Structure 1
């Protein structure tokens, strides 16, 4: 039966767009003309951010250069000053929402005070999901930003645009309510089918297209070689360890550099290698897969097996003989302060490894790259306790500051009113002016003028700008961490970039090494400690 890998037909007609695309002389001439026109705009002109996106370049797509020039022309027509271009190329709008894109996401999450209106070329260049558009509309209304499309009727300052917002918001609400039901129903249906409809195949398989257009699973020959070699060396009288297998597979190019021993063991223990449909088994906190059974209680075959049932089960017995009995994982993870505690020698994370022997459980804090995990620290909770104590001494009294968005529209309006009023009184107090006709009117006008000058001088120039400000929420980090425990402290230290080097030195005649800890705090730790609310967290 002839077949080929799915997607082969479309790859030839598409190519990734080069981010370093060169502008033509004609394009640059147009750009310079638009910038000259922009320089003539008043200082208080609305500030525009241009959003440019492209996944792949085909004959039908519009290049990023054309998108930018068209948007700059639109900005000129509307009197907007362009303050930036968020260009995200080779990015799918279906898979990556605006706030998760590298360039546009930085503007939305961190640079909102720097622009007033967001321009995009066409709706599908900006978003491809109604729920994403609804989220962006909510964000714009919250921060008083305008959303304008060149080729679609989206403009939050127009009546038609507001009607469009209402329609889109209603559709998105219906979509959000039905999404979970549709997805759950689709997956339940897929589990009962022998054809491969959706999902990522297990390691050892790939999706292929038959001559009649059906999508089925076929055996990946490279993975087949790797898996059978692993079974061969695991069945020896002196079998190789999982890490030794990984080293050989990576060195020979059968697997990628990122392969780990735990990943390899999960692959070797997956019953999908017998050609059956599987699903994740979440019981006990261990990442495993289990067979999906049909209505008669039999496994559902979706492909030829990489292993026969006898080969698979004999492999499991061999792995069980050599495997260590690891305790069940705890829901919050085995290691506290993961990413904070590091080894000063290999610079990798320190993690807790647990083993059981003769009915007793042992926990050691080890690093990732030192031979054998380095000198293991046998009492992880003692290290946690010392880290908590040291961090509280250094950062415990720091106030908890939260980032809030302040808009300068009201202050700008008041500043403009005072400036106009001062100009009015100054003109009236000039020789021959309306306030110079009598002594009384002149004194009253001068008094009023002085008062308004004082009011104008009292306005902080920063208050007239849209800006982020840090506000104290009344707590210290000591209080915050006492309420949230080690999990809250670990999350904050990881976010801020605080590291703790754990040095273990062998002591003659003593089994446990001597432990020394050194906390490394970034110089700008106070700025990093400021809590920033995620406006888009609810979107996920």
Structure 2
């Protein structure tokens, strides 16, 4: 009984003129029925390039492993290049098949297996292997040239689109081409991520939120679009990738969210020194700047953020030494006792270790805080963007230096005008950036239109904690002491603080709040 394994492969490369998987399988099946062999398996490798080693292919590789060799006698393919388009991989497979006494059937080359077993035949096989290898080189060259031509255009050259975008086919100038457009669902996710970061959530908390919601990563979304299962590295198929602190921070810091095109991790710039724009930005420039400021502040903080542990984490502080209090709990005779204790004690000797019942502190916050601060207006910090072109100016100067280096190396010997035009555009942009003043962005307190008394009843414990932190309040607890700081400002003090602003800061604040009022969801 002849036991046969079918090997079927097709590449993602649109330039590869190859049979479809269905066509390959049909040819192999009809031949198997004619010869009366037993088909014990079919190795189908979809979207696998011809230069991938057969032993490394996901479907075929396991059949070539030592533990599977006793299950089959013959390997059938429709054409030789279904085995491999790489001549080295191809010859390695041929010698492997000879060593393990395996028959190889190539439908369009009936003498293939006989040629494997003679020196002259192997020489012919080597020559045959060079044809697909040379064609593969031509395919790669055409693909590279195509990518080079499209690199500085608004077209999408392929790969995994940035999170927030999806590829779409458009008919432009008589041809179908791929472009990027915003994915509304992913944009909503990004805006929620931005809101959480500005609301002082940690990257870990944002990642946890995304994982609990079952939000797919950009890679998993790309797999789903191709009809493939989601896959986490090191796990079984169907197990989605997980978000982490690193992926959250990396995503929210990626200029691709502004619609900028990138190559090898760097933003591409056109001949005028401007980023190549391939899609509409997810965030406005102001939203982007405030997000980056919040990310930078969180990155530089020395405070370790703990999520879901202390009901008043970041609000309650030790009144003895000023350290942040920790939340402790213990169960005695079935009763759960909770305390706020000095976070520095006993690791440091500067404090005697203040310990206060958590319920008392939370009740005092409810009573004392509202009695003292209830009439106070609730404010929120809003970012007033500044202008700082230092980074772009530095990038422009580096591009001028690289362009000059290319000129010296002779890259523009045949096109001196192109060099002059590009250098002129970069020099002009450099002058524009250098002439613009650097104005630092700043946070500004904005009145929300509510008092704490009006807001308090609508919040749960976590909401109250976040609001206290957002408004800059802290509760200092000591032995028989309870103090909220800072003290509420009188109208006169608020006016005095406003009077310290420069005219430019006042104008910027007014302009910002006017724009904010016209677009409250911005």
Bin for the TM-score computed over the shorter chain: 0.3 to 0.5
TM-score by length of 1: 0.41
TM-score (normalizing by structure 2): 0.42
